[in-house]
């Protein structure tokens, strides 16, 4: 089985993004799964096309997109993506859409086709803080998750897909206000590995 994992480039004034840092640290193989890694731009315009071209190039059996959710204390397994771009800040192109659809005339939303509860349980039982989140937000991460699920549904692709948000890394939080939650990259990487193993064990 082939699994595509994506992370994002830094954004919002940060010099690194733990989503791609954690993806980069994954081994090339996990169990029977071959791991393909791609970095996506934090761009409403270019993130979707970059994801689609990686899928068309590699033909994965499953896709897990990963992004940073600063302020979270655990790894969030996202359940839904909505057809909405409504940014509280500009993306890396300086674009800040307000109440725009991701796909004109697309459905309002999609559910992740990953086993979200089983992934969260696998992480928690390995002492990695995790939870199922019911909103991936309305910024670039939601844009990517919606684009992924819309591609899978509209083209009837035999791909399971979903999204995972990781907290700030310890290095990022070191310079932020006291009390800012963070997680060591080792835990995030282990969490992503457990997510891959859970998806792999449920291969359809």
Is 153 part of the annotated catalytic residue set? Answer: no
Least distance to ligand PCA from the beta carbon of 108, Å? 19
Least distance to ligand PCA from the beta carbon of 19, Å? 5
SS (HEC) of the chain: CEEEEEEECCCCCCCCCHHHHHHHCCCCEECCEEEEEEEECCCCCCHHHHHHHHHHHHCCCEEEEEEECCCCCCEEEECEEECCECCCCCCCCCCCCCCECCCCCCCCEEECCCCHHHHHHHHHHCCCCEEEECCCCCCHHHHHHHHHHHHHHHCCCCCEEEEEEECCEHHHHCCCCCCCCCECHHHHHHHHHHHHHHHHHCCC
Is 175 part of the annotated catalytic residue set? Answer: no
Q: Which residues bind ligand PCA (CB under 6 A)?
A: 8, 11, 17, 19, 42, 67-69, 137, 139-141
Least distance to ligand PCA from the beta carbon of 124, Å? 22
Of 21, 78, 150, 193, which one is the catalytic site residue? Answer: 78
Of 21, 65, 150, 165, which one is the catalytic site residue? Answer: 165
Is 150 part of the annotated catalytic residue set? Answer: no
Least distance to ligand PCA from the beta carbon of 202, Å? 26
Using Cβ positions, the residue closest to ligand PCA within the complex turns out to be 141
Nearer of residues 67 and 115 to ligand PCA, judged by Cβ: 67
What residues are annotated to the active site? 78, 141, 165
């Amino acid at each position: 089985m082939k699994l595509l994992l994506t992370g994002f480039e830094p954004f919002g004034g940060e010099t690194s993004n733990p989503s791609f840092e954690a993806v980069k640290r994954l081994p090339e193989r996990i169990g029977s799964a071959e791991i393909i890694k791609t970095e996506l731009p934090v761009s409403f315009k270019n993130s979707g096309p970059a994801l689609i071209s990686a899928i068309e190039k590699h033909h994965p059996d499953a896709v897990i997109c990963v992004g940073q959710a600063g302020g979270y204390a655990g790894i969030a397994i996202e359940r839904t993506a909505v057809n909405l771009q409504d940014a509280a800040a500009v993306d890396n192109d300086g674009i800040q859409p307000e109440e725009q659809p991701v796909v004109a005339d697309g459905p309002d939303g999609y559910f992740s086709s990953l086993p979200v509860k089983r992934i969260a349980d696998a992480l928690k039982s390995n002492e990695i803080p995790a939870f199922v989140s019911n909103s991936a937000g309305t910024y670039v991460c939601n844009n990517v998750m919606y684009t992924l699920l819309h591609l899978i549904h509209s083209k009837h692709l035999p791909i399971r897909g979903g999204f995972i948000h990781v907290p700030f890394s310890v290095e990022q939080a070191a310079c932020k206000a006291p009390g800012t939650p963070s997680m060591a990259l080792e835990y995030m990487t282990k969490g992503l590995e457990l997510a891959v193993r859970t998806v792999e064990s449920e291969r359809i």
